[in-house]
Amino acid sequence: MKFICLNDGAVAEMISGREFQSVDFDAGQKLIQAMREGTELIRRTGKVVLSLSKEGIFFATAGSWKSKRYLVIDCEASGLFGSINESDGLTSFQKLLRFCAKIWSNSIAMCEGTEPSDQPNGTRGSRRSGL
């Protein structure tokens, strides 16, 4: 699995539904297995539609793609699901989603005005993160 892509609606659904909070729930167990192993997952869970490819997973909700915000996780670079157990992996994933939702709601101030040498690829004021 190279990447996981979620739109803002899918992030909201994933953090609000308790079935995705723990591997004790069937949906949480299937979710973490799909992200770790690329195994098949339920195609539709509530408002979230899943598209699984050989390269990654897309989680999306209905609506114009142009008006959505996206979180893309580079699974190879982040090591999010590498050496930790399924429960800790799901907890880390949920924490990442909550953090992302806070950034999108402007609840967390991002550091602006840093020097280009402090940013990846020399971009100034970028909100890009190497997750």
Q: pLDDT 10s per residue in the chain (131 long)? A: 789 999 999 999 999 988 888 999 988 888 888 777 766 555 666 788 888 877 888 999 988 888 899 999 998 888 777 778 888 989 999 999 999 999 999 876 666 654 444 444 444 444 444 44
* Domain assignment of residue 129, yes or no: no
Give the count of domains, the chain: 1
Average pLDDT of every residue of the chain: 79
Does the global pTM surpass 0.75? no
Taking the CA atoms of 109, 22, 45 and 3 in sequence, report the sign of the dihedral they define: positive
Is residue 127 one of the residues assigned to a domain? no
Domain residue limits at 61: 3-122
Chain centroid to CA 111:
22
Q: Is residue 128 part of a domain?
A: no
In a domain, residue 77? The reply is yes
Q: Is residue 20 assigned to a domain?
A: yes
